[in-house]
Structure 1
Amino acid sequence: MVKRINEPEGCLSRLRSILETLRDAERRAAEFILQQPHEIIHLPISELAERCGASEATIFRLCRRLGFSGYQGMKISLARDLVEPLALIHEEVTERDSPWDVAQKVFQSSMRSLADTLKVLSPTELERAASALSRARKVEFYGVGGSGIVALDAMHKFMRTGLLCAAYTDSHLQVMSAALLGPEDVAVGISHSGSSKDVVQALEVARKAGATTVAITNKARSPIVKVADIVLCTTSAETGFRTEAMASRLCQLAIIDSLFVAVGLARKDATLASVQRVREAIALKRY
């Protein structure tokens, strides 16, 4: 009996997420696949290699890098991508669109970004992050700009787990607090570009202090990845008036929510007790 291999989903999303990390022949192959996806599913590996100026070994290596068993596995995943519901296909916003039209397109774009991020998110890295957070003495979140808002939201949620946590959006406070962390602590840096100097420096300081560092970023090849023990990648596309970072923010929040729930389950008793105490405290603020 032949063992059936379940290939991962999201071939195109996976390609986009690693495109910047590829070099020479691998990059040419990836770009060709992204530009001609409908044609690829009918091409044997030898013809694809010839048309993009790469060897068959390079194509196979690219497929494995994407998480597939081989070229055939990649084509199966690619074929799935090409028959996705039309409702999720991106549409550009135009001046003729009504507010309702805009809302539909923005919602569809958001759903697509979330679905694509789920496809490229590493289950192993997510599990490592959840495990580190659930065992931490203290958790700190760093971000600036839009990512700073996500960092504050993360602190707001993780307070309910009973963990000692903080969020910093000021660059000086980030490095000051990071320097005081230790081996039992976790520092989470959030940066869409992965190139925010303040956040990268804060994670670097935290790492030197012995803390476990986690990066949430849209760029698999960026400075923040070099100072992170664990990397959680989002994926999103820029669309007209809606910037790439806007869509990425929703994906960042979804990852934070996933980690919060996972940590809450791992620390069930402490989380339930903390949630109750928080509810009682907040009740004092309501009429």
Structure 2
Amino acid sequence: MESMNGLARIRGAYTTLGKKEQRIADYILKQPERIIHHTINQVADDLDVAESTVFRFCQRVGFKGYQALKIALATDVVAPLQDIHEDISQEDTPLEIAEKIFTSNVKTLEATRQILDGASLDKSVALLLSARRIEFFGSGGSAVIALDAYHKFVRSGLFVTANLESHMQLMSASQLTTDDVAVLISHSGASKDTLDVAKVLNERGVLTIAITNYAKSPLSKLCDVALYTVSQETEFRSEALASRIAELSLIDALFTVVMMRRGEEGRESLQKMREAISLRRM
């Protein structure tokens, strides 16, 4: 978590922050270079808040404390991301809207790439490779991402499953064991259906991986490993929609590493799948 991009993490967590925390976020986003040279008490004085409020803000956005946030912001200021985000307006042509959507997706991918944590990726891959069974869970729009993950990993030769209906998810979760791994996908990390599944999995002692946008979400607290995305909301497009491309990319990365680690077994499984699919081609 300490190596992640500070500005991207603050933007990603913004909608979950309280009013005082959003004031701190606005202050940092407008002038990150000042934070690098300010002490925590200077920031607190500027905003007329307690130092403890600033400290809690740092933890809410995924850092151990103020110093860790300053280090991340220093990296941002030295090598800032180009701000390519533009709001879509009613006056835009279809081509302009398409260009802005593509630009927003590029920014989401770049911001997510900057906060990737190598240790969390390594641990996720190790869990997937050692699992007797892997099951993907998601609700609403995240269910589509879970289904895509199943569609990829079924090619690996590993035992993978996915259910889209909430009652079936709970039933399936209740049958998993300590030898299995569950991957839970939720942009907000606060979907009741997904949290209910996570609680059942915890009761069963099942190892869990979360893919979510918020470091301090109920889901990330319930799971053994968390992989994070970063996305921003626009007037005509929710951040959940923008995050899908990052979630899909994380799953692509996990699948590719798993297949490389499986070596010849992975290649044989992929070849079997290709041969089976070829029967459907004319």
- 1:35 deviation in Å? 3.8
Deviates further, 251-260 or 207-216:
207-216
Task: Name whichever of 267-276 and 117-126 sits farther off.
Answer: 117-126
Q: Read off the aligned partner of 2:186 and give its amino acid letter.
A: S
Alpha-carbon offset, residue 276 of structure 1: 0.2
Equivalent residue, structure 2, for 1:154: 149
Does the 8 Å contact 2:195/2:219 carry over to 1? yes
Cα RMSD after superposing both structures? 3.0
From 27, 33, 54, the counterpart of 2:28: 33
TM-score scaled to structure 2, two decimals?
0.86
Structure 2 SS opposite 1:214 = strand
Number of the residue aligned with 1:127: 122
Structure 1 residue 233 and structure 2 residue 235: aligned? Answer: no
Name the structure 1 match of 2:105: 110
Corresponding residue for 1:136? 131
Distance in 2 of aligned mates of 1:166 and 1:211:
15
Q: Which residue of 2 aligns with 1:79?
A: 77
**Cα distance, 1:77 vs. partner?**
1.7
Q: Secondary structure at the match of 1:34?
A: helix
**Kept after mapping to 1: 8 A contact 2:5/2:72:** no
Change (3 A) 1:67 1:77: farther
- Is 1:265 matched with 2:260? yes
TM-superposition CA deviations, 1:183-216 (whole Å, max 9, x none) = 1110111111112211211222122222111111
**Which of 176, 181, 201 does residue 181 from structure 1 map onto?**
176
Q: CA deviation at 1:40?
A: 3.9
Tell whether the 8 Å contact from 1:143 to 1:190 is kept in structure 2 after alignment.
Answer: yes
The residue number in structure 2 matching 1:275 is: 270
Q: Does the Cα contact within 8 Å between 1:10 and 1:77 map onto a contact in 2?
A: yes
Match of 2:202 among 202, 207, 211: 207
Q: In 2, are the aligned partners of 1:20 and 1:221 still within 8 Å (CA)?
A: no
What CA distance in whole angstroms lies between the structure 2 residues aligned with 1:23 and 1:95?
Answer: 31
How far did residue 129 of structure 1 move? 0.9
TM-score (normalised: structure 1): 0.84
1:10: which partner in 2?
Answer: 5
CA contact (8 A) 2:35 2:70 kept: no
> How many equivalent pairs are there?
278
Deviates more, 1:46-55 or 1:112-121: 46-55
Tell me which amino acid in the other structure corresponds to 1:84. L
Partner Cα separation in structure 1 for residue 250 and residue 88 of structure 2: 27
Whether the 8 Å contact between 1:157 and 1:260 is mirrored in structure 2 is: yes
Measure the CA separation in 1 of the matches of 2:168 and 2:255: 24
> Distance between the aligned counterparts of 2:222 and 2:52, measured in 1?
34
Please tell me the residue identity of whatever aligns with 1:100.
Answer: L
Q: Distance in 1 between matches of 2:57 and 2:141?
A: 36
Give unmatched runs, 5+ long, in structure 2.
Answer: none
Rate the CA distance shift 1:98–1:167 in 2: closer, same or farther, 3 A. same
Q: What's the CA shift for 1:32?
A: 2.2
- Distance in 2 of aligned mates of 1:265 and 1:92: 40
SS at the partner of 2:162? strand
Equivalent residues of 2:87, 2:235 under 8 A apart: yes
Report % sequence identity.
40
Query: Aligned pair in 2 of structure 1 residues 54, 211: CA closer, same or farther (>3 Å)?
Result: same
The code of the aligned residue for 2:240 comes to A
